[in-house]
Amino acid sequence: MFQGSELHRRVCLALDEALGGGLTQPELAEQLGFKDERNIRHYKKGRHGPPHEVVVKLAGLVGKPVAWFYETESENGLVDSKPGPSERVSVPRSSRNSSQEELLGQLVAGQELLLAELRGLRAELQDVKRAVSHRGKSRTPGLEKAQ
């Protein structure tokens, strides 16, 4: 559930920061790739969470690392990084150093590149499927017999 989650709280904080920085909701929606501000209202109300690519754009707008959106701070001061749904890794905030932050940034950037490549491959696959589908439909019944 997105509403009430740490991700929801951080998305709301980032949206408020972007809006507080002088952007209007329609401008922010455009920056995030939406036709109108409806999705922003849905995110703020917790109806559904943004896809990862929207989190990446929002992070860029407010100057936060993408990983910030997926971290939770527990009562004992540890930060739980959530690299994926399968595994959690706890790293004390105080023991992080710049090389770890840089590595985390590189990993996130690599993930973003892989996701972009995957989206491109999916689009190509859809184009091929459409072409094959149209090729099969374009044949006129009985045309082969006439030739």
Kindly state whether residue 21 falls inside one of the protein's structural domains: yes
| Judgement on whether residues 118 and 107 belong to the same structural domain of the protein | yes
Q: Say which range, 47-61, 81-95, 105-119, has the weakest mean pLDDT.
A: 81-95
Phi, psi of 26 (to 5 degrees): -60, -40
Contact indicator for 11, 43 with CB cutoff of 8 Å:
yes
Tell me what pLDDT residue 94 has: 52
Which of these, 65, 47, 46, lies nearest to 55 by C-alpha position? Answer: 65
Please state the domain count of the chain: 2
Contact indicator for 71, 56 with CB cutoff of 8 Å:
no
Kindly state whether residue 92 falls inside one of the protein's structural domains: yes
Phi, psi of 104 (to 5 degrees): -60, -45
Mean pLDDT of the chain: 76
H or E element that contains 29 = helix 25-31
Contact indicator for 50, 58 with CB cutoff of 8 Å:
yes
For residue 95, name the pLDDT band (cuts at 50, 70, 90): low
Range of the domain at 40: 6-96
